[in-house]
Amino acid sequence: ELESITKVACSQPHSILGMHPCESAGKSALVVRAFVDDAESCEVVDISVPDGPRYPLKRISRDGFFEGLIKSRSKCFDYRLRIERYNGEIRQFFDPYSFLPSLSDDAIYFFNQGDDRQAHEKMGAHLREINGVQGVAFSVWAPGAERISVVGEFNHWDGRYHPMRSLGASGIWELFIPGISAG
């Protein structure tokens, strides 16, 4: 799973990255994985509580793959990632892999039927607010693709970061990236 992300071969990054329920020593827990550029350290911050608890993630690859087990929690919660860059800068941001698809099942169905006369409002890059979080929803139809990433100045044009998820047999690939804007 780690190599599928770091070697740019994963078509379902949401199944690996983000927060997921798991078991640890026979008890319910959470595992969180993040692949972030230029981060010396990474923590999960519970945003439901002011100055909420932080859960450190362990770096498991030089290029920025982090993973951590939260044994004290069993239900997924809203969070941000807090990273410290090598230059000392600290950033806190919502994890793109904590969001559900930005396209509804109906939108996917009508697009695949060829009946969607407003496909241009869904496909491409669109400013959106999801769960009160501003960002850009990206979607593209590429039925023959094995994987797709969103690249730009915000991730140094590196296709290893921000891989999109395939929405089944629809041929549509999708990712919501919080915190970026037009341009």
Q: What is the pLDDT of residue 74?
A: 92
- Residue whose entry in the numeric block shows the structure tokens 């799973």: 1
Q: What is the pLDDT of residue 1?
A: 85
Is the overall model pTM greater than 0.95, yes or no?
no
How would DSSP label each residue in 8-48? Answer: T--S-GGGTSEEEEEEETTEEEEEEEEE-TTEEEEEEEETT
Q: What is the pLDDT of residue 111?
A: 80
| pLDDT tens per residue across span 46-102 | 998 888 789 999 999 988 999 999 999 999 999 999 999 999 999 999 999 999 988
From 163, 168, 170, select the one nearest 148 (Cα to Cα). 163
Q: In what order do the strands lie in the sheet with 54-59?
A: 18-24, 27-35, 65-70, 54-59, 39-46, 79-85, 90-94
Q: What is the pLDDT of residue 27?
A: 92
| pLDDT tens per residue across span 5-42 | 888 888 899 999 999 999 988 899 999 999 998 899 99
